[in-house]
Structure 1
Amino acid sequence: MNLQQLRYVVATAEHRTMTDAARSLYIAQPALSRAIRDLERELGMTLFARSGRGVVVTPQGRRVVKLAKEALDAVHEIEALATHTHSGGSELRIASPPSLESGLAGRLLPAYVSEHPGVRVHIVRCDGRDGVVNAIREQRADLGLTDLPVPADLVSHPLERQEIVLISPPGLDLPESIPMIRMNGMRLVLPLPGSARRREFDQLFATYGVRPIVAAETDERGGWLSTIRSASASLLGYRGMAEQAVRAGLVVRSLDPPLRRIIALVHARRRLPGMAQDFLTVAENRSAV
């Protein structure tokens, strides 16, 4: 038995289907099923009974799930204590993709630092939502700033709704507000195939019957300005990126109908260090949701 198996058991109990649990854990469903079967064989008990497309937690399974949650909570507290001791208790780590970093640095950090001047804040730069989730899970960050949804093993605190805009090189013959259908045949820079963000964009395009031309595929948002120029293509990004885009000579346009995403602070389901809890308080006092 290991901690990974315990996490799998808890996720399966919470989601009630192997498919949804595997998706929340970012693993393949067969790998999750195999891990659960191996643990059941090791324990000599059935934890989940199959029921149609989902699973039902058995009476023995409920006891195991409860103990697994307690064990994982204890491990998280020990890891948090070790991190707190190692950092001297004075560094707060916040994971963020480049597309949201300007809002974090420009609005939330000054408010927090003014109230807690003795705390150093380190921004852990990540590639999109998946990178933020992994930074939280791997204990490389105490908090994460990302758009929703996030997997069920993380807690989210919505802060604001941010508009998605089209960022393009100059010279394109496009209206000020872009009807979704106008992206049909448009050259776009898109996330890598198989990523959560790419699946969301693909679903969006399918909803509006849009088939863009894939000019480039990347999850490296740090170089998005150069990618737009080198590929002579447009990018769907957040309104918070607009100021940097305009300074770089790019054009920012709204979409029709408008698209907005909820931006939230997220963290693992465990007791937070005091610095992280203080940051949440500051952020929630300034929440626009």
Structure 2
Amino acid sequence: MNLQQLRYVVATAEHRTMTDAARSLYIAQPALSRAIRDLERELGMTLFARSGRGVVVTAQGRRVVKLAREALDAVHEIEALATQTHSGGELRLASPPSLEPVLAGRLLPAYVAEHPGVRVHLVRCDGRDGVVNAVREQRADLGLTDLPVPADLVSHPLERQEIVLLSPPGLELPDTVPMIRLNAMRLVLPPPGSARRREFEQLFATYGVRPVIAAEIDERGSWPMAIRASSASMLGYRGMAEQAAKAGLVVRSLDPALRRIIALVHVRKRLAGMAQDFLSVAESGTSA
């Protein structure tokens, strides 16, 4: 038995389907099923019974799930204690570059004003997946990302951010761009297979548009440079508007308006004092 198996048990119990649990854990469904079967064989008990397309927790399974949650909580608290001991008063925040304006514009100034003695270290991540992994692996105390996130993380919604179109100057587009105008438009997109790319592809399918892929960059890449070099547009957040303007780019709204919920996320544990203080400051000015 290992901690990974305990995480798998808890996720399966929460999602009630192997498919959804595997997706939340970013692993293949057969790998999750095999790990659960191995644990059941080791324990000599059945934790889950099939019910239609999902699973139900057995009587023995409910006890195991409860103890697994308690064990994982204890591990998180030990890790948090070690982190707090060795960090010397440092708060680690994970964020993709696209959401750094949220940190720099509102959250960090408010926190530093109340807690000037705490050092803040920014862990720059490639999109939501990167933030989730940084928080799970204890490389960050809190993560700033858009929702949804896997069920093993706790989320605290802060605000809704509008998705906008960032374009090079000179394109003949209205101030508010109908989604259908994205059809055949040259776009800079996230890398294939990334969570952000899958979401954009679903969005394009919903509105029946097929853009032309001009370039593919992750969130740590220089998007203003990519837009200019490829003479293409990119979907981003309204919070990126100031940086876009400095780079000489044009920011336009979309029709219909699209918004995403931005949240602070963390693992299911009792937060250390610095992280709890940051969360309290952030939630005091929430607009979600």
Q: TM-score, normalised on structure 2?
A: 0.98
Alignment of 1:116-265 (within 5 A): 116-265=115-264
Q: Match of 1:83, SS?
A: helix
CA contact 2:190–2:197 (8 Å) conserved in 1: yes
Cα deviation, 1:86-141, whole Å, max 9, x if unaligned, reads 112x1101101111101201211111111111111111111111111010001000
> Counterpart of 2:69?
69
Distance 1:168 1:20 in 2: 36
1:80 deviates by 0.4
Alignment of 1:38-57 (within 5 A): 38-57=38-57
1:221 deviates by 3.5
Distance 1:111 1:141 in 2: 19
Distance 1:103 1:54 in 2: 39
1:39 deviates by 0.7
1:157 deviates by 0.7
Instruction: Tell me the C-alpha RMSD between the 2 structures.
Output: 0.9
1:40 deviates by 0.8
Q: Which runs of 5+ in 1 are unaligned?
A: none
> Counterpart of 2:78?
78
Distance 2:191 2:33 in 1: 27
Distance 1:176 1:98 in 2: 25
Distance 1:218 1:29 in 2: 28
Distance 1:180 1:222 in 2: 25
Letter in structure 1 aligned against 2:286:
S
Letter in structure 2 aligned against 1:20:
D
| Match status 1:103 vs 2:89 | no
Q: Match of 1:114, SS?
A: helix
Letter in structure 2 aligned against 1:8:
Y
Cα deviation, 1:185-225, whole Å, max 9, x if unaligned, reads 00111112222111111111111111111112222344111
Q: TM-score, normalised on structure 1?
A: 0.98
Identity %: 86
> Counterpart of 1:29?
29
**Stretch moving more, 220-229 or 233-242:** 220-229
Cα deviation, 1:42-70, whole Å, max 9, x if unaligned, reads 11111111111100111111111111111
1:275 deviates by 0.6
| Match status 1:15 vs 2:19 | no
Distance 1:186 1:255 in 2: 14
Distance 2:68 2:160 in 1: 35
Letter in structure 2 aligned against 1:122:
H
Q: Match of 2:159, SS?
A: strand
CA contact 2:97–2:219 (8 Å) conserved in 1: no
Distance 1:71 1:158 in 2: 27
Distance 1:143 1:247 in 2: 29
Q: Which runs of 5+ in 2 are unaligned?
A: none
Distance 1:19 1:195 in 2: 18
Distance 1:67 1:274 in 2: 26
